[in-house]
Amino acid sequence: MNRLIGKEIDSSAPYFIALQSETKRLLGANMGLRIRACTEIGHIVYHGGELVQTVLSNDPRVIDQFLSIVRAEKPHPLPLQVAAIRALSVIVRAGPIIQEMLEARGLMDILLATLKHPDEEMRVYTCHTLLFFLIKSIDKYAPSLYTAEVQGQLRRAALDDWTFFQYNDAEELMKLLEIPYDPYLVSGCIQSAKGKQDRGMSVSSQGSGGFDDD
């Protein structure tokens, strides 16, 4: 039995074993296994409840590694960064102990920096993570969010592809922060961008018949 934060954890529990195994993969050198470990740890945290929260609290290597990858302290392949921010979007909901750990490690600053990421999927999952993080701590962080830069980044993120989400979390963040925005304008911009892309593909297709012999 391992005693963690005043509680006894059965080291033979399936979630405990799974988390230890995936932690080794996450900290290893094989990139494919590291990416897969991000996904698996997200599932373990989502289903593991208080047991997993306690383990992560006692051994923060997983959280520190995810934050390091997203922060890009050194160059990381984009698929690993995406996998890490997706995992963080789950871990941030694990419970108050984990939220306090993330807060103490500067998650807010990391997420605000990642809103500027050139990759759309990174921006989308950053908004997704930010929304869950702010729900219970909005008053504390509100001053750092009411800047023209952050508001501009959220409006930009609202134009990203949210097809696979129940809501456009960039819009939800603006509602939470009471930032003025026009959802119809956002929708119109998305449709306009798609229309231009479709027309561009059509023109490209029409012009792909090759050169005349003369």
User: Is the confidence at residue 43, as pLDDT, over 70?
Assistant: yes
User: Is the confidence at residue 16, as pLDDT, over 60?
Assistant: yes
- Report if residue 145 sits inside a domain: no
Report the number of distinct structural domains present in the chain. 1
What Å distances lie between residue 141 and 86, 137, 146, CA to CA?
Answer: 22, 7, 9
Helix (H, G, I), strand (E, B) or coil at 1: coil
Higher pLDDT, 73 or 132: 132
pLDDT at 75: 84
The string of pLDDT tens digits covering residues 116-168 is 999 999 999 999 999 999 987 888 888 888 889 999 999 999 999 999 999 99
- Report if residue 68 sits inside a domain: yes
Query: 93 lies in which domain range?
Result: 2-138
- Report if residue 41 sits inside a domain: yes
pTM: 0.80
- Taking each helix axis from N to C end, the angle separating 107-114 and 61-71, rounded to the nearest 10 degrees, works out to 30
How high is the mean pLDDT of the chain? Answer: 84
- The enclosing domain of 72 has a CATH number of 1.25.10.10
- Report if residue 124 sits inside a domain: yes
- Report if residue 75 sits inside a domain: yes
Q: What percent of the chain has pLDDT over 70?
A: 81
